[in-house]
Amino acid sequence: MRVVKQEEALVPSGLQESFDRLRAHRWELARTGARERLARLDTLKALILERREALADALHQDLRKPAAEVEATEVLPVLLELAHVRRHLKGWMKPRRVAAPLLLAGTVSEVHREPKGVVLVLAPWNSPFPLLMSPVVAAVAAGNAVLCKPSEKTPHTSRFLAELVRDAFPPEEVTLVEGGPEVGEALLRLPFDHFFFTGGTRVGQRVMAAAARHLAGVTLELGGKSPAIVDATADVETAAERIIWGKFLNGGQTCVAPDHVFVHASREEALLDAMKAALERFYGKTEEARRMSPDLCRLVDDAAFTRVRTLLDQGVAAGARVATGGVADAEARYLAPTLLTDVTPNSPVMGEEILGPVLPVLRFESLDEVVSEVREGGKPLALYVFSQDEQTVQRLLQETSAGGTVINNVALHAANPNLPFGGIGRSGVGAYHGETGFLTFSHERAVVRQGRTTFLHLFFPPYRGKAQKLARLASKMFE
């Protein structure tokens, strides 16, 4: 008979039943091979392909996201992940033979990757499809039972995801629950074997505390103020186009978007001109054309609109200047793509991750200033360096820390399943994508097989004479 802990007693019965059903099935899942796991993922892939238009419609209702952007930033990342898992899962699951020291002669040492058990995936609103499905794919590939929850801020996409998961997986293998923060808080009371959360730092701290209470693993993807750095040697036209694309994708509501730009004073005017030109090419030549553009997302809800508009207003009040944009329509949750100049590091707009279509531009004279500001701002999820000077690139790699870095482009590291994707410090704990995701949801179990030959008995007590000399001799081998 299982003893119910006090905090579990506070969990609504429906959530508790879902968790118990998953836990009852987790050992059966642990025994599955690559073929069975891939069959489930193949079903998921077929349903995604069949329902991609319904997904695009849901995301348009929630964020007014253009269909092409849905394909490129929501569907494609999950398809890439599924294809990568299909190619490599069998190899990832094989026990890995490792060498053993001479003292363990006669043994065979292996690393076995086993599922952690029942895992929780809490997804955000800004990229609601891949940021739920990609970790679910990794967790299923690793043989876990999964309980997942999408954000209530994107209700149409949440409903789509609920139907997709229901039709792709048996409920004893993967269950999706919907609801607001109270559901998320209730889930944190359950003793999952791993907690995977994507979102803000404040909630991430609560997730980490919950994982600590349960002595469980935790992965936190938290974002942060990711800078782009444009030095005096950069190709300004190219830098401008790529920064504008990465920043205003999804209405600026992307965790790997450039949050702000440091530009060398000698290139500031040229960069601003090139960024304005890129905005006109992408979204329209006039403010009215940009407001009517079908290619610009809207802020997710009224609270998000108010928060970003307030940051913009506070920045201007503190001395920043709107170089272009600044137009707002609260009813439509529209904020024009905005470039802010004359921004200083202590400006209110630099106090938190913007997650909206406002791009502060800060000039610098010396790279020392940039290094200092990046360090002071914490460890960002991403760092983007635009430079033709390899010494500058190496210095920024060696003297700053970030979850990932791209040279002369933005966001591309998130698209390569062979690379780990994750933050460090305030931008996150742990990583996923590809084999890294498989390992995130796996425990690497050490297994040693003893053969007939062994020298271990020479070290058995009593510790006198030969045993003592052999122990000292063994130590000397490694001095």
Give me the pLDDT at residue 292, please: 95
Residues 426, 235: Cα–Cα separation, whole Å: 31
Q: Which of 420, 418, 382, 428 minimizes the C-alpha distance to 401?
A: 382
**DSSP character for 432?**
B
Q: Which CATH superfamily is domain 227-418 in?
A: Aldehyde Dehydrogenase; Chain A, domain 2 (3.40.309.10)
Give me the pLDDT at residue 9, please: 58
SS3 category, 33:
coil
Q: What are the DSSP E strand ranges found in 265-421?
A: 321-324, 328-329, 334-335, 338-341, 358-364, 382-386, 404-407
Give me the pLDDT at residue 194, please: 98
Q: Which CATH superfamily is domain 6-222+430-443 in?
A: Aldehyde Dehydrogenase; Chain A, domain 1 (3.40.605.10)
Cis peptide before 462 (omega within 30 of 0): yes
The DSSP element (H or E) to which 229 belongs, if any, is: strand 227-230
The residues near 407 (Cβ < 8 Å, ≥ 6 apart) are: 385, 386, 387, 393
Positions of CATH 3.40.309.10 in the chain: 227-418
Count of Cβ atoms closer than 10 Å to residue 285 Cβ: 11
Instruction: Give the catalytic positions in this structure.
Output: 221, 255
Say if residues 142 and 119 touch (Cβ distance below 8 Å).
Answer: no
Q: Which of 198, 134, 343 minimizes the C-alpha distance to 259?
A: 343
Q: How far is CA 176 from CA 4, 60, 154, 411, 472, in A?
A: 23, 22, 15, 29, 58
pLDDT tens, per residue, the chain with 479 residues: 454 555 655 889 899 999 999 999 999 999 999 999 999 999 999 999 999 999 999 999 999 999 999 999 999 999 999 999 999 999 999 999 999 988 888 899 999 999 999 999 999 999 999 999 999 999 999 999 999 999 999 999 999 999 999 999 999 999 999 999 999 999 999 999 999 999 999 999 999 999 999 999 999 999 889 999 999 999 999 999 999 999 999 999 999 999 999 999 999 999 999 999 999 999 999 999 999 999 999 999 999 999 999 999 999 999 999 999 999 999 999 999 999 999 999 999 999 999 999 999 999 999 999 999 999 988 999 999 999 999 999 999 999 999 999 999 999 999 999 999 999 999 999 999 999 999 999 999 999 999 887 777 777 787 777 767 777 777 777 77
The DSSP element (H or E) to which 261 belongs, if any, is: strand 260-264
Positions of CATH 3.40.605.10 in the chain: 6-222+430-443
Residues 147, 195: Cα–Cα separation, whole Å: 10
Residues 358, 354: Cα–Cα separation, whole Å: 7
Identity of the residue numbered 424: I
The DSSP element (H or E) to which 219 belongs, if any, is: strand 217-221
What does the CA dihedral 156, 159, 161, 167 come to, rounded to 10 degrees? -140
Say if residues 380 and 352 touch (Cβ distance below 8 Å).
Answer: no
Strand partners, 359: 339
- DSSP-derived secondary structure for 97-151: EE---GGGTTEEEEEEEEE-SEEEEE--SSSTTHHHHHHHHHHHHTT-EEEEE--
